[in-house]
Chains A and B, each alone.
Chain A
Amino acid sequence: MALRVALFIPCFVDQLFPQVGLDTTAVLRRIGCQVEFPEDQTCCGQPAFNTGRWDDARPCAERFLQVFGSYEHVVCPSGSCTTMVRKFYPDLLQGESRQQALALGRRVYEFSEFLVRVAGVREVGAEFPHKVTYHSSCHATRELGITEEPRILLRNVRGLEFVEMQHADECCGFGGMFAVKFAEISSAMGDVKAANIEACGAEYVAAIDSSCLMHVEGILRHSNRAAKTIHLASILAAGAK
């Protein structure tokens, strides 16, 4: 049975990490999904919401409900943007919109969550012969409770050696505007994360959020460390026939 899936591509993935979107699509197609990309989508509103600009975030949320309202499964390669829809829309919206958000929130899935919990897939035929660790991003871990799904998928990749780092679920320090408004604190947190990554000896640090990876990558390169960052979707899309 082919699951019909609407892609929710976060704005910064669309703009800065297009390959993550393509890899997400490739993996979903490989497991037999019919993938659509509603081209009317823009941003979920999280930047405004997190800055306290709830009145500016609200129209984005209302718009999101219109664009995705008719889909049975919405899949997003980001734990944070999934959190925005599932957990924060009900705080942001009232009345009828809130009801719609609660209903849609149950059909919006983070990518690894969708693969493991909805599609029932634990292995996608990928090959990635490298030593990889996993950064358990905050929203995914503590708002959505996604901790095992990405690890299951990684452990089942051919040739991949999985290692845990210390404090894998500690924040990398990104936090959206926090990274810019409090750059000195954010980068110190990033530095602690980078040291933990280095200490576990991984070649790659994987995550399900490009935003965290963008920050960790920036810190790793700035501090001349060897480890590289990669989105889970790109590992799962690698090496398949």
Chain B
Amino acid sequence: MSTAAREFHRKAAEKAPDLVHRQVIQRNMVSYDIAVDKAKGRFRDWQAGRRRAQQIKWEAINNLDKLLEQFEAKILERGGHVFWAADAQEACKYVVDLARRRGVKTVVKSKSMVTEEILLSPALEKEGMQVWETDLGEWIVQLRHEPPYHIVTPAMHLSRQDISRLFREKVDPTIDTDDPQKLVAVARRFLRRAFFAAEMGISGANFLVADAGMVAISTNEGNARLTTSVPPLHVVVTGIEKVIPRLEDLGLFWPLLATSGTGQPITTYSTLIGGPRKAGEVDGPEEFHVVLVDNGRSRLLADPEQREILHCIRCGACLNACPVYRNIGGHTYGTIYPGPIGSVLTPNLAGIEEFHHLPFASSLCGACREVCPVRIDLPLHLLQNRRKVAESGIPGLAEMAGFKVWSWAMMSPQRYVFFGALSRMGMRMVKALGLSGSLLDPMRPWTKYRAALPAPRQSFRELWRKQRVVEKPE
């Protein structure tokens, strides 16, 4: 078992029975579900929209090379810069060098999961720079020195009382309110100063529009607009899979993302950015860079079975739908991307040796696939990841041998009957000895949380034969 797997088990055992946590998440999910249902109702045909989105992402990912070059050409034309980063180190080095060259002391960031993935903030902080998250939820978890709990709503696990306490400790000891409006005002005052002090703004991208050569960013707080227009230097850091082919595709993808992400018909601020400030323009950065991050994505692109994972638009709907996520929470995963999409993505991006447990931490219930706006077959990818884990030999010889014996037993009805009867006899003995649920119970992982299984004396097939002798079938 890897370190990550041990940590996962430890945290899951702690969070799963935590009823306060369960209640907070359930309450949030109820309001999310209601909002999503309402927003879906504004589509003439939600299912048709999903199918169309799936087709468009298929087209984008299967033409990724051409579309990215098309995007790049437009950015260069407008005087922007594009850097192709093979991995996290390359991406971070490029941004750090840039910041150093420009003498940057303060950086503002709008929300971006890929910068979390490549650990960009720690890299900048190591150089002595002050980095501020400007998305309210991200800023809150930054103050707590915590990773985001959720890819869309990073501070979803906190109540306004928690946030009030946090602000009192970290921002202003005189705060004596948990009124959300007033707490937001505290954040606004603080972050305004950061925006105007910053020499560099870093944003993510929700979509890279290939034909227009534009970066599309959506936020509900307007913080991306300030991040990308006030500081003299703007760097977009994005995964290469964020491409959509045409500007008109946003007509579907903007409402689709808003609906699945937060249950809004459209996100409050939707921005398109294509380059630095031009002569005569009143705002915008002097310098504009796009860092296209691969970091394992082209390995997925080369895998025809799992390429579809790159269709993900990071809406977070699969996290919200997942009963595992809802019971263990975002921090238990110990990954940048938690929930179902994280469990299909992480073993492929960050390595199967460390994250071999994630594909198995699912009941394969399929709720994630049902809500995915681009119809990624998440349970199938979990199954395929499980196959990759089994083939890698990580689970060990005992499991491998166990299944070989099992498969051999199942190849003959006589062996099947023999092993079946033997197991039931064993189970009856455990019961007769009063060991059910005790530490000596071989079924302990089951009986620790549940009543023991029945172990009838006769199987169905035995009863079937007897019944046939007694009464002739009608």
Contact = CB atoms under 8 A, between A and B. Distances in A.
Contacts of B367: 138, 142, 170-171
Interface string A36-72: 0101111101011111111011011001000000000
Interface string A88-124: 0001000000000000000000000000000000000
A43 B416 contact: yes
B454 A17 contact: yes
Interface in B107-131: none
Given A22-B467, A49-B383, A175-B364, A187 B16 contact: yes
B423 interface: yes
B323 A192 contact: yes
A22 B460 contact: yes
User: How big is chain A's contact interface, by range?
Assistant: 35 or more
Contacts of A47: 406
A188 B327 contact: yes
Contact of A222 (B13, B407, B450): B450
- The interface residues of chain A, by DSSP majority, are classed as helix
Contact of A173 (B323, B369, B390): B323
Residue of B361, B409, B410, B453 with highest tally of chain A CB at under 10 A:
B410
Interface stretch (A157-165, A200-208, A212-220): A212-220
B160 interface: no
B333 to A, nearest CB: 12
Contacts of A217: 451
Given A187-B450, A214-B453, A52 B416 contact: no
A53 B390 contact: yes
B451 A15 contact: no
Nearest to B448: A183
Contact of A215 (B362, B420, B450): B450
Contact of B416 (A35, A42, A51, A53): A42
A182 B361 contact: yes
A185 B456 CA distance: 28
A14 B420 contact: yes
A138 B364 contact: yes
B469 interface: no
A190 B460 contact: no
A39 B365 contact: no
Contact of B362 (A29, A91, A175, A222): A175
A190 B181 CA distance: 38
Interface in A172-198: 173-190, 192
B363 A175 contact: yes
B445 A183 contact: yes
B442 to A, nearest CB: 11
Contacts of A63: 410-411
Given A171-B367, A175-B362, A183 B323 contact: no
B251 interface: no
B461 interface: yes
Interface residues of B, number: 66
Contacts of A13: 460
B471 to A, nearest CB: 11
A145 to B, nearest CB: 11
A143 interface: yes
A51 B385 CA distance: 10
B449 A186 contact: yes
Interface string B407-432: 10111110010001001100000000
A22 B463 contact: yes
A126 B370 CA distance: 34
A187 B474 contact: no
Contact of B366 (A15, A59, A138, A185): A138
B323 A171 contact: yes
Contacts of A130: none
A14 B399 CA distance: 24
A47 B399 CA distance: 12
17 contacts: A17-B456, A39-B413, A47-B406, A50-B383, A51-B386, A51-B399, A52-B383, A53-B400, A60-B410, A142-B365, A143-B366, A175-B363, A176-B364, A182-B12, A186-B449, A188-B17, A218-B446
Per CB-CB distance, the 4 closest pairs between chain A and chain B, nearest first, are: A175-B363, A218-B450, A52-B386, A52-B390
Interface of B: 9, 12-13, 16-17, 22, 323-324, 327-328, 359-367, 369-370, 380, 383, 385-391, 399-400, 403-404, 406-407, 409-413, 416, 420, 423-424, 445-446, 448-456, 458-464, 467, 473-474
